[in-house]
Amino acid sequence: MAAVVRASGTATSELKKKSLVPYLLLAPGLLWLALFFVAPIITLVGTATKTPGAGIGEFIQTYRWANYWDALTGASAQFGRSFLYAFIATLLALAIAYPLAYGIAFKSGKYKNILLVLVVAPFFCSFILRTIAWKQILGQNGPVYRTLLDLHLISSTTHLTASVPAVIIGLAYNFLPFMTLPLYGSLERIDPRVLEASGDLYANAFTTFRKVTVPLSMPGVVAGTLLTFIPAAGDYVNAEILGNPSTKMIGNVINAQFLNTQDYPTAAALSFILMIAISIMVMIYVRKAGTEELV
Amino acid sequence: MKTATRWFSRNLIRIYMVLGFSYLFVPVLYTFIFSFNDYVKSNLVWRGFTWNNWKQPCGVLDVCPALGNSIKIGLLATFIATILGTLIAFALGRYAFKGRAVTNTLIFLPMASPELVLGASLLTIFLNLGMNLGFWTIVIAHVMFCISFVVVTVKARIASLDPRLEQAAMDLYADERETFRRVTFPLVAPGIAGAALLAFSLSFDDFIITNFNSGTTITFPLYVYTHAERGLPAQANVIGSAMFFLALIIVVLGQVVSKKRKVGA
Amino acid sequence: MPDASTSAKGDLKLVNLTKSFGEFKAVDDLTLTIPEGSFFALLGPSGCGKTTTLRMIAGLEDPTSGKISIGSTDITDKRPYQRPVNTVFQNYALFPHLTIFENIAFGLRRRGIKDVKAQVDKVLNLVELPHLADRKPTQLSGGQQQRIAVARAIVNRPALLLLDEPLGALDLKLRRQMQIELKWIQTEVGLTFVHVTHDQEEAMTMADTIAVMNEGRIEQMGTPAELYDNPKTAFVANFLGQSNLIQGSIVDSDGDYHVVDLHGQKVKVLKSRTHSKTSSVLYAIRPEKLRIDTDGHIRPGNVFKGGHIVDVSYIGVSTQYQVEMPWGQEIMVFEQNDDGIPPLDKGDEVTLTFEPAFAFALDGSQDATAGSEVNPEEE
């Protein structure tokens, strides 16, 4: 946003003023978002305060705000788990993606574009298919399990799938491109001369990395961690496919209550709480990280 | 000593990159390999190589109709979202108007909300309105979450456009309409194409939001998910792999074309 | 397009032109006439309002008040595409998606001209790049892009060609070559060129008339020689070349000359070269007009006594000295290395002499450093 205004510099006439045109351009898209994003969220808030009616799946608006509290206390374990898993998965993804992005930005020469395409490429092979692939790779019949068993590194009673690490590895895997691309974006913008200057000013490679590279790549770190944490916290596919009943995340609960038990008020309350909780965390994080430009 | 450290640090990054890309591609490779599996009921254990699955990708019940739905929904949602999003991007990139902050927030929020919340809240309103879930509710949902990504992509392209190019066109006797037609649009077009590709891949691969709003309509990700329990046919692997290679070819071709354009004849 | 474009011909007139950005006045009540067919330069430091002036002439910026006309046609409220004016943009702004041919043909096509091919070929020959017609702009070198940008503008034969720092992106050697070439093209096509630059050498090489701008106003206007030889303000004296400005006061008159007292030493300056309404003056002399005389050989004319050298820089064609005067001020002296005598040393006691006719005197109430500290790097 700010960039656009800045780009036109002193030329304020560049942005045409007092015209109806921008509103006409905005209208259809924003109307769509108002109808199918804003209105649904508001409806969600209302649905959450309904109580069961006569038939199954029928609910009457009674403004029972305590529903929120009940929903929260009823699923506090899953909430905690969601944020914990998402947090660890985000750190894991950051640890994997940072060197990857760094390598693409500074060490890949003319292969830069190809490597960038490769980062996004797995997206094109269905997300569910890939998660199932992980399940089979790590599963009892899969190559990883077999090898570890043959090497006597694990016993036959150990499971690689249906476990907490499997869920977290799956989450980190799924959102890795979301982490890598913004990191690459901010690393790529660093002028290599700045790094040379740091070396010239008696910083060794590690100090240069810590004092120059990392601070300059912070916008990418913030964007990447948000793009990973937010969907990871709301995900339930990984927990469903790679987990077991004790790894259920809040997404599994909301999903089940919407689609199986049809307890819409509780599901709506949980969804809204999830959204608010994530928004608050994001706000605190962004303020601490001191980055304003997100879009 | 110094050169040894430097050599090590340089290659450390390379080794790390190889490991990172392996992590990214192992499941894709696995999916690809098992698309050739001569499976019986479930595609879990390797039973030998066969071309059959690739020769008959529609050989299993429901898989191709699901794929067809995904493609139809993807194209439709991409078409609508690209138009709506591009219009917003031009408003944001080219005009000063009141309500810019609100607009930006409205664009940002869907991207910052968990898919689950988007899907669940849409389902709530569809239920309240008594709408029949199915093809069209999926399209509505997909357009909704694709718009923001289109806006961000196209807006970035507009922002990177040198304002002097449009000024030069005006200076060379092109009025506003001609300037848009001859200079602005051709220069923003690659961004719009990229946004459309992104929207299609988001729509095609979406599971969570679709799952909430699909009713009895089955898309390809839904098919894969529901059949995962009972054993997935290798045809799913065939389609997944084929889509992967197809997308890769499109992206590479796009890059080659844009490079050629830049370089000229 | 509407062909008001080719009909308007004549002098460019700016009348009371003002552009404000909020409180800041980028261009302040500018009145100026640029004669048809001339090569005119607007010279000034970054932020002096020269680019804003150019953009207002092009129609890319709306004036806050004032009037712009070409000949008898008022173009103040015309859109950029309705003006008989074309611009060579800074960094050229060639359309990256079009070939060189189509870039040049752009304006002709918009105006619905028939023999596009012939005209484009002609102008490509003029800039000596006919073989590049089918290339894309990114395949061209900086110098080639620059020439294509000129070709794209002059092919339209505008009443006025505007050049916005056209050579800023080129390296020194190429810039020199392009200066000569641009001057040649201007004589060849006979159009009015208005050239904006912060580079005084560039302005002096090419322009017939230079207007030196500072803080939204014109400080002084004239031919390069007039501006250099007889500056009327401290800003012009310092911005165009270098000057020694010494605070003093007029104490007497001697025929065509004023006698000026500079910290106890008496020197002369022509009355016609004195631009002060009061007796308080900044007495000015260019460094290359000063001669260094060691004891015994004092040449006639004005004399500064009691200096000693504090710094010597040998730069080949000349040697530059900093000479500290008894009143503490350091005076710059450029000596041609044409006499085979080795440069003087630091600490040497010297006397400076010069022809009185070379000196000039400015209003003493000005800041003596105005225009000397400006960073010539633009944007």
Q: Does C21 touch chain A (CB under 8 A)?
A: yes
Q: Is residue C236 part of a domain?
A: no
**pLDDT of C258 strictly over 80:** yes
Query: Residue B181's domain spans which residues?
Result: 61-263
Question: To the nearest whole angstrom, how far is the Cα of A51 from the nearest Cα of chain C?
Answer: 58
B15, B95, B175: best to mutate for the A interface, most A CBs within 10 A: B95
Question: To the nearest whole angstrom, how far is the Cα of B177 from the nearest Cα of chain C?
Answer: 12
**pLDDT of B72 strictly over 60:** yes
**Looking at beta carbons, which residues of chain A come within 8 Å of C26?**
10
With CA atoms as reference, the chain A residue closest to B240 would be A125
Please check whether residues C58 and C102 belong to one and the same domain. Answer: yes
Q: Is residue B68 part of a domain?
A: yes
The residue with greater pLDDT, C368 or B119, is B119
Q: Supply the ipTM of this predicted assembly.
A: 0.87
- Cβ-proximal residues to B1 (8 Å cutoff; 6+ apart), any chain: none
The residue with greater pLDDT, C370 or B74, is B74
Smallest Cβ distance to C81: which of B173, B263, B265?
A: B173
Q: Is residue C132 part of a domain?
A: yes
Q: Report pLDDT digits (tens) over A102-133.
A: 989 888 877 888 888 888 888 888 889 999 98
With CA atoms as reference, the chain C residue closest to A12 would be C61
**pLDDT of A17 strictly over 70:** no
The residue whose two tokens read 């943009």 is C89
**Looking at beta carbons, which residues of chain B come within 8 Å of C138?**
262-264
Q: Does C60 touch chain A (CB under 8 A)?
A: yes
Q: What pLDDT was estimated at residue C6? A: 46
What average pLDDT does this structure show over B182-194? Answer: 92
Q: Is residue B29 part of a domain?
A: no
Q: What pLDDT was estimated at residue B2? A: 64
Among C208, C229, C250, which residue terminates a domain?
C229
Please check whether residues C275 and C317 belong to one and the same domain. Answer: yes
SS (H, E, C) chain A: CHHHHHHCCCCHHHCECCCCHHHHHHHHHHHHHHHHHHHHHHHHHHHCCEEECCCCCCEEECCCCHHHHHHHHHCHHHHHHHHHHHHHHHHHHHHHHHHHHHHHHHHCHHHHHHHHHHHHHHHHCCHHHHHHHHHHHHCCCCHHHHHHHHCCCCCCCCCCCCCHHHHHHHHHHHCHHHHHHHHHHHHHCCCHHHHHHHHHCCCCHHHHHHHHHHHHCHHHHHHHHHHHHHHHHCCCHHHHHHCCHHHCCHHHHHHHHHHCCCCHHHHHHHHHHHHHHHHHHHHHHHHHHCCCCCC
CB contact under 8 A, C106 and B261: no
Architecture of the domain whose range is A42-289: Orthogonal Bundle (1.10)
pLDDT band at B263 (very low <50, low <70, confident <90, very high): low
- Cβ-proximal residues to B8 (8 Å cutoff; 6+ apart), any chain: none
Please check whether residues C61 and C204 belong to one and the same domain. Answer: yes
* Average confidence score pLDDT of chain C: 89
Beta strand C73-74 with C85-88 is: unpaired
Query: Residue C346's domain spans which residues?
Result: 242-363
Neighbours of A13 (CB within 10 A): 14
Please check whether residues C212 and C347 belong to one and the same domain. Answer: no
**Looking at beta carbons, which residues of chain A come within 8 Å of C55?**
11
**Looking at beta carbons, which residues of chain C come within 8 Å of A12?**
21
CB contact under 8 A, B27 and A23: no
**Looking at beta carbons, which residues of chain A come within 8 Å of B152?**
295
Q: Does A19 touch chain C (CB under 8 A)?
A: no
**Looking at beta carbons, which residues of chain A come within 8 Å of B128?**
43, 47
CATH number, domain containing residue C84? 3.40.50.300
Question: To the nearest whole angstrom, how far is the Cα of B164 from the nearest Cα of chain C?
Answer: 6
Q: Alpha helices, DSSP H only, in chain C?
A: 4-7, 50-58, 100-110, 116-126, 142-154, 172-189, 200-206, 224-229, 234-239
Please check whether residues C14 and C85 belong to one and the same domain. Answer: yes
Q: Does A7 touch chain C (CB under 8 A)?
A: no
With CA atoms as reference, the chain A residue closest to B251 would be A117
Smallest Cβ distance to A4: which of B93, B124, B221?
A: B93
pLDDT band at B241 (very low <50, low <70, confident <90, very high): very high
**Looking at beta carbons, which residues of chain B come within 8 Å of C87?**
167-168, 171
pLDDT band at C152 (very low <50, low <70, confident <90, very high): very high
Residues 90 to 109 of B: which have CB under 8 A from any A CB?
90-97, 100, 103-104, 106-109
Please check whether residues C135 and C249 belong to one and the same domain. Answer: no
Chains that touch A (3 or more CB pairs under 8 A): B, C
Please check whether residues C222 and C182 belong to one and the same domain. Answer: yes
pLDDT band at C341 (very low <50, low <70, confident <90, very high): confident
* Average confidence score pLDDT of chain A: 83
Using DSSP's 3-state secondary structure scheme, residue C64 falls into coil
Q: Is residue B3 part of a domain?
A: no
Please check whether residues C97 and C216 belong to one and the same domain. Answer: yes
CATH number, domain containing residue C276? 2.40.50.140
Q: Does C77 touch chain A (CB under 8 A)?
A: no
Burial class (CB in 10 A: 0-12, 13-18, 19+), C271: middle
**Looking at beta carbons, which residues of chain B come within 8 Å of A104?**
17
**pLDDT of A3 strictly over 90:** no
**pLDDT of A10 strictly over 50:** no
B172, B187, B259: best to mutate for the C interface, most C CBs within 10 A: B172
Domain count, chain B: 1
**pLDDT of B130 strictly over 50:** yes
Please check whether residues C250 and C282 belong to one and the same domain. Answer: yes
Question: To the nearest whole angstrom, how far is the Cα of A56 from the nearest Cα of chain B?
Answer: 14
**pLDDT of C2 strictly over 70:** no
Q: What pLDDT was estimated at residue C91? A: 87
Q: What pLDDT was estimated at residue A233? A: 92
CB contact under 8 A, A10 and C52: yes
Contact B142, B206 (CB under 8 A): yes
Please check whether residues C252 and C215 belong to one and the same domain. Answer: no
Domain locations in chain A? 42-289
Chains that touch C (3 or more CB pairs under 8 A): A, B
Domain count, chain C: 2
Please check whether residues C142 and C19 belong to one and the same domain. Answer: yes
Q: Does C93 touch chain A (CB under 8 A)?
A: no
CATH number, domain containing residue B243? 1.10.3720.10
In this structure, of A78-87, A285-294, B235-244, C64-73, the range with the lowest mean pLDDT score is: A285-294
What average pLDDT does this structure show over A6-31? Answer: 66
Among C171, C196, C229, which residue terminates a domain?
C229
With CA atoms as reference, the chain C residue closest to B258 would be C97
**pLDDT of B198 strictly over 70:** yes
CB contact under 8 A, C87 and B168: yes
Please check whether residues C207 and C263 belong to one and the same domain. Answer: no
What average pLDDT does this structure show over C291-297? Answer: 75
